[in-house]
């Protein structure tokens, strides 16, 4: 599978509801993942989940954000039609006092080659 390496100024943003369904995705996220906004909104965020990602990483992510805390970590995502890309993600809860709902915002940037190499070693031990 072919890796797509993010540019230094790529900044991927998405918002999901409390079930992980995509409410919003910015242009960088759509472009990198290979989907249109219309294809992403209303779909589970795991539409971009790569099979190599350990389930424990996402269990930790959801446990953290559901506890009203910020999660940071490395994620390998799948591209529509094949391929993958790595991101360093920061995910945080956002409570809307008007609708009384919580959503989750994920902001992602390019990780370094060393960060990817290090996290791949760790993730390989978690499979």
pLDDT in tens, 9-40: 999 999 999 999 999 999 999 999 999 999 99
pLDDT for 1: 77
How far apart (Å, rounded) are the C-alpha atoms in residues 92 and 106? 7
Please give, one letter per residue, the 3-state secondary structure of 46-65.
HHHECCCCCHHHHHHHHHHH
**Confidence at 92, pLDDT banded by 50, 70, 90:** very high
Q: What is the arithmetic mean of pLDDT over 102-116?
A: 98
What topology is assigned to 12-125 in CATH? Beta-Lactamase (3.30.450)
102 in Cβ contact with 123 (< 8 Å): no
Strands 71-78 and 84-96: antiparallel
Residue found under tokens 């990817």: 116
**Residue 127 pLDDT exceeds 70:** no
**Residue 126 pLDDT exceeds 80:** yes
pLDDT for 119: 97
Q: What is the arithmetic mean of pLDDT over 86-113?
A: 97
Q: What is the pTM of this model?
A: 0.94
Q: What is the arithmetic mean of pLDDT over 65-86?
A: 97
| Mean pLDDT, rounded, of the chain | 97
SS3 107: strand
* Rg of the chain in Å (alpha carbons): 14
């Amino acid at each position: 599978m072919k890796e797509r390496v993010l540019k230094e100024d790529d900044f991927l943003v998405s918002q999901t509801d409390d079930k992980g369904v995509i409410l919003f995705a910015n242009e960088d996220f759509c472009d990198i993942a290979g989907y249109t906004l219309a294809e992403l909104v209303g779909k589970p965020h795991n539409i971009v989940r790569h099979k190599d990602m350990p389930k424990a990483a996402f269990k930790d992510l959801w446990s953290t954000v559901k506890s009203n805390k910020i999660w940071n970590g490395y994620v390998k995502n799948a591209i529509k039609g094949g391929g993958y890309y790595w991101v360093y993600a920061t995910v945080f809860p956002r409570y809307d006092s008007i609708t009384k709902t919580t959503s989750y915002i994920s902001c992602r940037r390019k990780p370094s080659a060393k960060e990817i190499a290090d996290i791949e070693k760790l993730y390989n031990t978690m499979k």
